[in-house]
Structure 1
Amino acid sequence: MVSETRLADYWDISQRTLQRWRSKGCGPEFVRIGGVIRYPLERIQEYEQEHRGSAGTP
C-alpha cells in the first residue's frame, strides 16, 4: 500500500491532483482505511500500464 503523499511525489504531481481525481472517480483505485487513503501497488502499476503513452489528464 502506498500513501497519497508518496504516490504524488513518485508521479511528481500534487496531492490535490490525486484528491481531485478521486472526487471525479478517476485515477488509480484506492482504499480508505480509518480515514486514511492508500493505493494498492498493483492498482498503481495497472493504472500506469493503462495510461502509458497517453497525453493529458485521466
Structure 2
Amino acid sequence: MAHLNQVQLARRWSLSPRTLERWRWRDQGPRYLKVGGRVVYRLEDVEAFERASARQPEATLRSGGTL
C-alpha cells in the first residue's frame, strides 16, 4: 500500500504543508494515519478525496453535455 507524507501531498496539490495541518485540525481534507507520531496519507484515500472533490464545469451542465 502506497503512502504519502505531508510534504509529498502538499507538492502533489501545490499547497503549503501548513494548509494540510490546518485541514487536519479542522477535520477537513483526506483521511490520514498517525504512525509513530508521523502523519501519512494512504494513496487510495488521497485519490478518493480527489474524486469526491471533482466538479463539473457549469457550462457543461447547462448545455446538457457530459464529460
TM norm structure 2: 0.78
For CA contacts below 8 A with separation 6 or more, give which structure has more relative contact order: 1
**Structure 1: distance between partners of 2:50 and 2:18:** 19
**Structure 2: distance between partners of 1:44 and 1:34:** 20
Aligned residues: 54
2:17 is aligned to 15
RMSD: 1.1
Runs of 4+ in 1 over 2 A off after TM superposition: none
Deviations 1:26-54 (A, max 9, x none): 10000000110000000000000000127
Aligned partner of 1:42 among 44, 52, 58: 44
Q: Which segments of 5 or more consecutive residues in structure 1 lack a partner in the other structure?
A: none
Q: Which segments of 5 or more consecutive residues in structure 2 lack a partner in the other structure?
A: 57-67
Deviation at 1:15, TM superposition (A): 0.3
Answer with 1 or 2: which has the greater Rg: 2
TM norm structure 1: 0.89
> Sequence identity, in percent?
33
